[in-house]
Amino acid sequence: MPVSPSARQLNRYFLISWLFAVVQVAGLQDIRPFAEPAVAGWALAATLSYAFLYLLPTLLIVHLLRPLLSRTLPKAAPALIALLAIGLVGLTQTLLFADHIIRNMYGFHINGFVVDLVLAPGGIAALGASLGTQIAAGLVVLALLAAQAAAYAWVMRRDGLGRWTARIRWRWVLLAVVMLSTGERVAYAYSAATNFQPILFASEHYPLYQPLTMRKLAKRFGISSAAADEQGQGLHVKEGRLAYPLAPLRVAAPKQPLNIVWLVAESLRFDMLDPQIMPRLWNFSNDALRLEKHFSGGNLTQMGVFSMFYGLYGNNWFPMHAARRAPVLMDVLQQQNYQFSLNTSQRFTYPAFDKTIFVNMRPQDMHALEAGAPPWQRDVQNIDDILSFIDRRDPARPFMTYMFFESTHAPYDFPEQAAIARPYLEDFNYLTADFKKDIGPIKNRYINAAHHIDAQIGRVIDHLKATGLLEKTVVIVLGDHGEEFMERGRWGHSAEFNRFQTSTPAVIRVPGQAPRVIKGISSHLDIPATLMPLLGVQNPPADYSSGYDLLAANFHRDFAVAADWNRIAYIGNDYKVSFPINTLGAAHNEVTDGNDHPLADSSAALQAIRTAMLDIMVNLTRFSRRSSS
């Protein structure tokens, strides 16, 4: 009968697994900041101790269950313990590998955004990974599990590592790890107190890094710096009950309500609005309101689309989602008996717009084409369906259509006839692509996809003209956020708040409004404040949003605000500064000039935006009230 492994055998297995993890954690590091001996020593201690901490839950689970399984299920215990040890350690190694890939591509670790992506229905599909990428990822996972299985089998052999580990006193190993961890904790705390940035920045390379700060204690011993007080400070928002809108809406519905056609393209950045790339939209923008320095309310779909419908900062997503609260804009449209056709070439469940923006919509009005045909074909089919809806609707009632194009989401999909930029990368595999070498051909795929979407937008415009509806319809064309192609060192979005990841085209045509161009800053947050007066809402925009009416003669913005899962960013002409919100773990302010170049001295920027930051802090909690309990 098979015998359950001994505690010493399991310790040998975890020793090998720890060495594997050390290699993976070391691979997350950037060698350049570690030229300084103090930083190199800290990084070595952090790498060794965090590799152990990542494996610690599995180590404890296996050691705690081993005697229990051996007593209660003696025959099955060896196999069950093996499955636990190999499976859980393999999962940890897989997560470390996935974190390495995600950080290299997007600049952040596995976080709430990534977890939501994995768990939400349609989330993984939203990545648009090719079959080659999925196969490569599967092979990597199998290889990691195979390596763990081989290590386990080796240490279970009688000779295994016994000769080299027989004299190891495991309690001393544990003590050494504790001392390493304590040392790097204290070093981090000292760095935080003195604003020693090499260690503060190096800590961001570790997934789930938990900083230790002792600024008050350090000040008592005379250890502090003015820069430490000025920089690295996040915003802490205390949640309360939802207060949205701030006052009941006063509405005098127009006698001749305008239709609304709302077109949003995934990852469509500002410079795609170009006469060669998107000629139909460019020509249309010359007869509309064109916003030339327009910013999304986020650097990812969730915050971008949320901000354009609610007119609120992205952090408000969480209370709105918890309360299942639709935007007041959609409330008013429903109250005025609008007909709806809500279309997407992805899903409404990821992000969870079915529980926020469209939570009160009838299922028969929501049309998602999330699988089957490639994205460019799904986009074409959705436009076909929207045009059919316009023709079949009740002409006595106003209508609202929404379309979310997917073609411009990586890997950037298009029909061959839309290929205007060559050469383009034929097989875009996320895991094997060389983003420095192949970024030009990758971007050409994106340009071709944008050109394809332009043709679909043109179809809508042509149909509105042909049916005589254009002069009765508000047309809105936006990107949900931008997309970077290594202009500032990253590919994709969700990582930074630079213009490439946050700025989108914005074209709004309102019947009766003269064409014009706004060259200054505008924001997705301004869309509801622009539409609500057209629907007869008499409240000031401040009652329901943090935006401004783009059609007002005195429209002006000093800055825009964008958010992601745990940061918020001030975006101005001269400076851009991001701040963590209620963040656990290492985080610091990212400060750049207006062209997204990092500033060596951020103190002047932080001082210059102090008044704006006070406004942002007020708006962060303006639609929540502190509980009376």
Three-state secondary structure string covering 519-532: EEEEECCHHHHHHH
Mean pLDDT of 268-291: 98
SS3 content of the chain, % helix, strand, coil (to 5): 50, 15, 35
List CB contacts of 411: < 8 A, sequence separation 6 or more: 128, 129, 130, 428, 430, 445
Give SS3 for 202. Answer: helix
Domain presence at residue 148: yes
State the average pLDDT for the chain: 85
- Residue 36 sits at the vertex; the CA angle it makes with 35 and 38, to the nearest 5 degrees, is 135
Verify that 358 and 489 share a domain, yes or no: yes
- Residue 626 sits at the vertex; the CA angle it makes with 624 and 627, to the nearest 5 degrees, is 120
Verify that 209 and 278 share a domain, yes or no: no
Verify that 212 and 269 share a domain, yes or no: no
Q: Which residue among 530, 550, 570 closes a domain?
A: 550
Q: Residue 127, Cβ neighbours under 10 Å: how many?
A: 15
Q: Are 475 and 390 in contact (CB under 8 A)?
A: no
List CB contacts of 396: < 8 A, sequence separation 6 or more: none
Verify that 23 and 110 share a domain, yes or no: yes
Dihedral angle over CA of 48, 49, 53, 56, nearest 10 = 80
Domain presence at residue 574: no
Verify that 277 and 214 share a domain, yes or no: no
Verify that 284 and 221 share a domain, yes or no: no
Verify that 198 and 284 share a domain, yes or no: no
Residue-wise over 461-495: b if at least 16 C-beta within 10 A, else e?
A: bebbeeeebbeebbbbbbbbbbbbbeebebbbbbb
Q: Which amino acid is at 14?
A: F
Verify that 205 and 263 share a domain, yes or no: no
Q: Residue 154, Cβ neighbours under 10 Å: how many?
A: 14
| DSSP H stretches of helix in 467-553 | 499-502, 526-534
Q: Are 198 and 39 in contact (CB under 8 A)?
A: yes
Dihedral angle over CA of 18, 19, 22, 27, nearest 10 = -140
Domain presence at residue 86: yes
User: Can you tell me which residue has the tokens 């539409």?
Assistant: 531
Instruction: Band the pLDDT of 433: cuts 50, 70, 90.
Output: confident
Among 74-78, 141-145, 200-204, 220-224, the minimum mean pLDDT is found in 220-224
pLDDT over 80 at 496, yes or no: yes
Instruction: Count up the domains in the chain and report the number.
Output: 2
DSSP label of 475 = E
Q: Which residue among 497, 515, 550 closes a domain?
A: 550
Structure tokens at 491: 């590919």
Domain presence at residue 97: yes
Structure tokens at 444: 């050409």
Q: How many CA atoms lie within 13 A of 486 on its CB side?
A: 12
Verify that 226 and 262 share a domain, yes or no: no
Give SS3 for 317. Answer: helix
Verify that 155 and 211 share a domain, yes or no: yes
Report how far Cα 617 is from the mean position of its chain's Cα atoms: 22
Report how far Cα 15 is from the mean position of its chain's Cα atoms: 35
Confidence at residue 545, expressed as pLDDT on a 0 to 100 scale: 97
Domain presence at residue 537: yes
| Distance, CA of 162 to CA of 600 (rounded, Å) | 53
Domain of residue 277, CATH code: 3.40.720.10
Q: Are 433 and 425 in contact (CB under 8 A)?
A: yes
Note the pLDDT tens digit of each residue in 161-220: 555 455 556 566 667 777 877 877 777 777 666 656 667 667 767 777 776 655 554 444
Among 32-36, 173-177, 410-414, 582-586, the minimum mean pLDDT is found in 582-586
Note the pLDDT tens digit of each residue in 244-253: 999 999 999 9
| Distance, CA of 125 to CA of 406 (rounded, Å) | 11
- Residues paired with 563 in a beta bridge: 298, 568
Please tell me the pTM assigned to this model: 0.74
pLDDT over 70 at 65, yes or no: yes
Domain presence at residue 505: yes
pLDDT over 60 at 628, yes or no: no
β-sheet with 590-593: strand ranges across:
559-563, 567-572, 575-580, 590-593
Domain presence at residue 604: no
Q: Which of 230-239, 468-477, 582-591 has the highest mean pLDDT?
A: 468-477
User: In this structure, what are the phi and psi dihedrals at residue 178, rounded to the nearest 5 degrees?
Assistant: -60, -40
Verify that 210 and 302 share a domain, yes or no: no
DSSP label of 503 = B
Domain presence at residue 575: no
pLDDT over 70 at 257, yes or no: yes
Give SS3 for 624. Answer: strand
| Nearest one of 510, 42, 56, 516 to 262, comparing CA atoms | 510
More confident position, 608 or 584:
608
- Omega before 245 cis (within 30°)? yes
C-alpha pair distances (Å), 336 with each of 104, 254, 308, 325, 369: 48, 9, 20, 19, 28
| Distance, CA of 294 to CA of 305 (rounded, Å) | 14
Verify that 46 and 171 share a domain, yes or no: yes
| Distance, CA of 499 to CA of 482 (rounded, Å) | 8
Note the pLDDT tens digit of each residue in 293-324: 999 999 999 999 999 999 999 989 988 998 99
Q: Which residue among 504, 524, 550 closes a domain?
A: 550
DSSP label of 251 = B
| Distance, CA of 452 to CA of 416 (rounded, Å) | 10
| Distance, CA of 354 to CA of 321 (rounded, Å) | 10
- Structural domain harbouring 362: 258-550
| Distance, CA of 495 to CA of 499 (rounded, Å) | 12
Report how far Cα 116 is from the mean position of its chain's Cα atoms: 10
Structure tokens at 317: 């997503």
User: In this structure, what are the phi and psi dihedrals at residue 536, rounded to the nearest 5 degrees?
Assistant: 90, 10
Q: Residue 148, Cβ neighbours under 10 Å: how many?
A: 24
